[in-house]
């Protein structure tokens, strides 16, 4: 049976969580839990020894799990992104979000997979790591891992993949990885709109058209361009077309959205931290 980190009780909170986040958190966990890929789905698909090893690795991570208040913000943001990508409102109808397994979350650092259909109706995938922290080494650690994967020429890997839009199941490799995030004040505002939308569907438009969708797309594109240039500079030419394909698709999504003013979101602390962390690829 797959161990489930979604059911862990909060312990040792080091800071007070905003009441809006406390209100949204149970719904966020429910959303993520109900949609996460389960390792159990791969019984009989993978070798039993491999499954046992992976479950053991997850269990060891679980044993060291320490709940902190900022984790609630990240979980809420992750659930909002999953929901808004799932309904096609933020990144277009051709975009679908997949919630990863606990193994891919803990071991491969992938919170969500963004599945995008290109103009030829082929599917491409982006691995998303959702971040709401600021003032820690989180972003630096995540980008160090991405750099390591580019240097190895392999990019990211998802061990437990399945999609409702294709027959593909199992491991996928050469998956570009990016970090998405916004600061806590922004998450609080999004959480409030998300709960209003869930309780009063007629208010959905306010969240659906929120400029955060442009900020997140800008974060992704900035990283993809940076990683493409780094792969080219470090003589990994086979990786360049992978990044170029995703860049083209995402730029097309932005064109279809039309002009969107992100206003005060330009100064978002996590966005700025992401931009600063990308200097490691220069």
Residue 24 lies in a domain: yes
Whether residue 7 has pLDDT greater than 60 = no
Query: What range defines the domain where residue 157 resides?
Result: 14-281
Round to whole Å and give the CA distance between 203 and 193: 8
pLDDT of residue 40: 96
Residue 224 lies in a domain: yes
Whether residue 3 has pLDDT greater than 60 = no
Structure tokens at 271: 């966005």
Span 25-41, pLDDT tens digits: 999 999 999 999 999 99
Residue 2 lies in a domain: no
Residue 277 lies in a domain: yes
Residue 3 lies in a domain: no
pTM listed for this prediction: 0.88
pLDDT of residue 103: 96
Whether residue 9 has pLDDT greater than 50 = no
Quickly state the pLDDT bin for 216 (edges 50, 70, 90): very high
Span 72-85, pLDDT tens digits: 898 999 999 999 98
> Helix axis angle, 212-233 relative to 269-277, nearest 10°?
10
Residue 192 lies in a domain: yes
Quickly state the pLDDT bin for 160 (edges 50, 70, 90): very high
| DSSP string across 147-208 | HHHHHHT--EEEEEEE-TTSS-EEEEEEE-EEEEE--HHHHHHHHHHHHHHHH-GGGHHHHH
Q: Per the structure, how many domains does the chain have?
A: 1
Span 166-188, pLDDT tens digits: 888 999 999 999 999 899 999 99
């Amino acid at each position: 049976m797959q161990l489930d980190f979604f059911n862990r009780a909060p312990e040792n909170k080091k800071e007070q969580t905003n009441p809006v986040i406390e209100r949204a958190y149970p719904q966020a966990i429910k959303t993520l839990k109900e949609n996460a890929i389960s390792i159990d789905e791969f019984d009989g698909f993978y070798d039993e020894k491999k499954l046992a090893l992976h479950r053991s690795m997850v269990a060891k991570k679980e044993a060291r799990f320490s709940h902190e208040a900022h984790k609630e913000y990240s979980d809420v943001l992750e659930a909002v992104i999953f929901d808004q990508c799932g309904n096609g409102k933020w990144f277009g109808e051709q975009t679908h979000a997949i919630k990863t397994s606990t193994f891919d979350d803990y071991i491969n650092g992938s919170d969500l997979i963004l599945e995008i259909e290109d103009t030829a109706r082929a599917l491409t995938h982006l691995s998303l790591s959702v971040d709401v922290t600021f003032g820690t080494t989180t972003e630096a650690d995540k980008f160090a891992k991405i750099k390591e994967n580019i240097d190895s020429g392999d990019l990211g890997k998802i061990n437990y993949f399945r999609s409702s839009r294709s027959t593909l199941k199992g491991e996928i490799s050469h998956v570009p990885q990016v970090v998405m995030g916004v600061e806590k004040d922004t998450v609080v505002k999004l959480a409030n709109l998300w709960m209003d939308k869930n309780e009063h569907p007629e208010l959905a438009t306010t969240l659906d058209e929120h400029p955060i969708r442009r900020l997140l797309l800008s974060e992704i594109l900035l990283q993809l361009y940076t990683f493409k240039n780094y792969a080219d500079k470090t003589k990994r030419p086979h990786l360049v077309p992978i990044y170029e394909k995703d860049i083209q698709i995402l730029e097309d999504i932005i064109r279809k959205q039309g002009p969107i003013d992100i206003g005060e979101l330009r100064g978002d602390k996590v966005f700025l931290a992401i931009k600063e962390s990308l200097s490691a690829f220069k």
